[in-house]
Amino acid sequence: MIIAQISDMHVVAPGKQLYGALDTAGYLARAVDALATLKPTPDVALVTGDLVNAGSPAEYARLRAELERLPFPYRLIPGNHDARDSLRAAFPDHDYLGTSGFIQYVDDSFALRLIGLDSLDDGKVPGRLCRDRLAWLERMLATSDRPTVIFVHHPPYLTGMGHMDGQPLDGAFSLAAIVERHPNIERVLAGHVHRSTQARWAGTMASTCPSTAHQFVLDLNPGERLDYALEPPGFQLHVWQKGGPLVTHTVPIGQYETRRLV
């Protein structure tokens, strides 16, 4: 099974640019172009939050126009820049989004079981996994011991990046206690930090995906400063074969010279 992961698209309304400088929809279009040419074709794309920048219907319409060009299915979860009602309204055919409340779901239609978690805390940048959301996860995990991938916008571990670590995920310790009880969890996938990171966490691996647009500058000093950089945007491919580990490839988006070696 091949899982594509894209994250932190921050799509803005037509005619606008993020920070007055970034064509985030154009960056997403290039990501979709790259994903659409992959051979073999991924089984599914997990789109791990901050889908748009301000949660507006116009932004979600623009997001959908690009994602619909993918030649394989995709699954959405919200990030701190998203709005659940507008997201649902833009994707009414995505039944897994539900009709109200948190956007959390289980997808058992693939070789790996997929569980999407909603870490959006309305009006706030840091994420939150409240008692209700965590209790739901524990119930879902109790129903199957199939190999499982959990995906959520906010990473449950500290990255060493001072600004981002100053806004930790509320409920991360409780999530870790749940995950530790379920050795069938292959990975916890996240976004939010606009960089590729990996950590051994709660008896499994957890990781974050780079943004399809801008990256946050790698600053390991404590403090509140946060800068963005036009480093190569990227996506990730998570490759799993039965009985083996889930292997992650981080793929930069763009045209680069290649030469045949053998």
The answer to whether residue 47 is domain-embedded is yes
Instruction: Mention every residue, 6+ apart, whose C-beta is less than 8 A from residue 230.
Output: 214, 215
List of the chain residues with pLDDT < 70: none
pTM, whole model, 2 decimals?
A: 0.96
Asked, for residue 261, whether it belongs to a domain, the answer is no
Is the distance from CB of 161 to CB of 220 less than 8 angstroms?
A: yes
Do residues 68 and 29 lie in contact, with contact meaning Cβ atoms separated by under 8 Å? no
Question: How high is the pLDDT of residue 262?
Answer: 86
196 in Cβ contact with 155 (< 8 Å):
no
Residue 162 domain flag? yes
260 in a domain, yes or no? no
pLDDT at 225: 80
Domain annotation covers residue 84: yes
Domain assignment of residue 239, given as a range: 2-252
Residue 11, in any domain of the structure: yes
Q: Does residue 170 fall inside a structural domain? A: yes
Specify the CATH number for the domain of residue 183.
Answer: 3.60.21.10
Residues 6+ apart with CB under 8 A from 39: none
pLDDT tens, position by position, 190-240: 999 999 999 999 999 999 999 999 999 999 988 778 899 999 999 999 999
**Residue 258 covered by a domain:** no
Question: What is the domain count for the chain?
Answer: 1
**What digits encode the pLDDT tens for the residues 140-153?**
999 999 999 999 99
